[in-house]
Amino acid sequence: MNGMPQRCTSRSTPRPLRRAVTIVTVPLLLAGGGLVGGGGVFAGAAVAAERQPAPGAERADVWLARESFVMGTLLRLEVAAPTRAAAAEASEHALAAVHRLDGLLSTWDGSAEMARLNAASAGSSAAVSAALLALLLEAEVWSKRTGRAFEPAVGPLIDAWELRGEGRVPDGAALRAALRAVRAGVTLDAAAGTLTRNDPAGWIDTGAFGKGAALAAAADALRTAGVADAVLDFGGQIMALGRPADGGGWRVPVAHPRHRHQAVGELLLRDVSAATSGASERFIEVDGQRYGHLLDPRTGQPVPAWGSVTVVAADPLAADALSTALFVLGPRAGMAWARDREDVAVLFLEDTPRGLVPHWNPAMERWLTRTIQTERTLR
Ligand code: ADP
Ligand code: MG
């Protein structure tokens, strides 16, 4: 059984945890892109905290916990290796990978490659590094597959709504101009290795896939360093590698879309990433009205706060991009998109006047450890 993927359905209970080393594991809480209350696998673990194997432990790994503030959010990782030095070195490689990706993808730091390309003159092609080009092409694939519900070229709409400032409701003309600029987008020429902005107002926003891209790079760095077991929490997106010290899988509670401190379900993850998108966490407020930070690129409007969607996929970039896309699509169209996909597990939590209504596709059955608790069962 050990080494086998966990197969838990919403009806079954997870198998008992295997004893390995003595640690207290407080679960992570996936909540619209955030960890709740500072708890989590890492609760009580100081930066670079170390856990020594218990006497007689089956596995002699040392677990090392690290934290770093990067990409505007907190990255926490916990890594197992045969020695403390090996765990420290592997975690260094993972952190370096994330910082490297930030240097490629940041649209906040003017010296990052993406920020420089976003400022390049429109209409002329600019050289783009192979590493950034590969990520942009990956993002483009998910954008096409989701009918552009996930749209990296959403920048002009971010500006129109002033999502990076005080917030504003654009008038009709401003909205139409922004939509035109989004549709004009950028042209990626893979053969020539260039990017061309097709509208002076156009720019790429990496906010909806950058953390996922960085998690993919960090996971690769860890694997290359020989690490089989690790967990990373990057601003609420989880990358689970192998298993925790006590075996089984990584337990990741799913939060209520509005009451973020309330867990309504739990995932048991191995060798996959989980990302959640919702509208309760980040928003602007104009004239007493709240507008979420996720925009529908087809209409230019902020997506209403209908609930949240959690996506589990092997590729963290896909999980990140798809949680955004499926939040934009909403539970109906989103479920129609995801229903028959085996590689993408989705859990929609629809916040209705009658209470929380969960929907998940068959692929999600593998990761859910128990039935989602609705309002009725929670009270
Ligand atoms: P979070 O960063 O809160 O985890 P997401 O991964 O869903 O959430 O990404 C949110 C960011 O993506 C927004 O802050 C915005 O910069 C950008 N964004 C908003 N709407 C879209 C969209 N339809 N497609 C791609 N990016 C978007
Ligand atoms: Mg996302």
d(CA 379, CA 366) in angstroms, rounded, equals 27
The pLDDT value given to residue 252: 96
User: Is the minimum distance from the CB of 155 to ligand 1 under 6 angstroms?
Assistant: no
The pLDDT value given to residue 5: 30
Nearest residue (by CA) to ligand 1, atom 5, is 208
Neighbours of 123 (CB within 10 A): 10
35 vs 202, more confident: 202
**Ligand 1 atom with least separation from CA of 282:** 3
Q: How far is the CA of 184 from the centre of ligand 2 (A)?
A: 22
What confidence tier does 92 reach under pLDDT thresholds 50, 70, 90?
very high
pTM for the whole thing? 0.86
Distances, alpha carbon 214 to alpha carbons 135, 226, 246, 352, in Å: 10, 19, 27, 34
The pLDDT value given to residue 153: 98
The answer to whether residues 274 and 315 touch, using CB atoms and an 8 Å cutoff, is no
Q: Which amino acid belongs to residue 264?
A: V
* Helices 316-338/210-224 angle, 10° precision: 120
pLDDT (tens digit, 9 = 90+) per residue, 326-358?
A: 999 999 999 999 999 999 999 999 999 999 999
The pLDDT value given to residue 376: 53
Q: Quick one: average pLDDT of 38-65?
A: 55
User: Is the minimum distance from the CB of 158 to ligand 1 under 6 angstroms?
Assistant: yes
Q: Per-residue pLDDT for 97 more than 70?
A: yes
pLDDT (tens digit, 9 = 90+) per residue, 266-307?
A: 999 999 999 999 987 778 889 888 888 999 999 999 999 999
User: Is the minimum distance from the CB of 35 to ligand 1 under 6 angstroms?
Assistant: no
**CB burial class (10 A; 0-12, 13-18, 19+) of residue 103?**
middle
d(CA 220, CA 97) in angstroms, rounded, equals 9
Q: Per-residue pLDDT for 219 more than 80?
A: yes
User: Is the minimum distance from the CB of 297 to ligand 1 under 6 angstroms?
Assistant: yes
Evaluated on CA atoms 122, 123, 127, 132, the torsion sign reads positive
Nearest ligand, measured from the Cα of 155: 1
- 45: which DSSP letter? -
User: Is the minimum distance from the CB of 154 to ligand 1 under 6 angstroms?
Assistant: yes
Lowest mean pLDDT among 22-36, 213-227, 306-320: 22-36
Phi, psi of 150 (to 5 degrees): -95, 120
Q: Quick one: average pLDDT of 200-218?
A: 98
Q: Per-residue pLDDT for 1 more than 60?
A: no
pLDDT (tens digit, 9 = 90+) per residue, 152-207?
A: 999 999 999 999 999 999 999 999 999 999 999 999 999 999 999 999 999 999 99
The answer to whether residues 286 and 169 touch, using CB atoms and an 8 Å cutoff, is yes
Q: Which two tokens stand for residue 242?
A: 């192998």
What confidence tier does 372 reach under pLDDT thresholds 50, 70, 90?
confident
- 236: which DSSP letter? T
Q: Which two tokens stand for residue 341?
A: 């996909």
Q: How far is the CA of 303 from the centre of ligand 2 (A)?
A: 14
Q: Quick one: average pLDDT of 15-39?
A: 31
The pLDDT value given to residue 375: 58
The pLDDT value given to residue 277: 96
In the chain, % of residues over pLDDT 70: 83
Distances, alpha carbon 297 to alpha carbons 66, 186, 270, in Å: 37, 15, 33
User: Is the minimum distance from the CB of 310 to ligand 1 under 6 angstroms?
Assistant: no
Of the candidates 85, 344, 101, 112, the one whose C-alpha atom is nearest the C-alpha of residue 232 is 101
User: Is the minimum distance from the CB of 45 to ligand 1 under 6 angstroms?
Assistant: no
Q: Which of 135, 205, 276 to mutate to test the pocket of ligand 1 (most atoms within 8 A of CB)?
A: 205
Distances, alpha carbon 36 to alpha carbons 26, 30, 188, 263, 313, in Å: 11, 7, 38, 10, 22
The pLDDT value given to residue 279: 84
Q: Per-residue pLDDT for 52 more than 90?
A: no
Q: Which amino acid belongs to residue 60?
A: A
User: Is the minimum distance from the CB of 324 to ligand 1 under 6 angstroms?
Assistant: yes
pLDDT (tens digit, 9 = 90+) per residue, 68-86?
A: 999 999 999 999 999 999 9
Q: Which of 107, 143, 154, 327 to mutate to test the pocket of ligand 1 (most atoms within 8 A of CB)?
A: 154
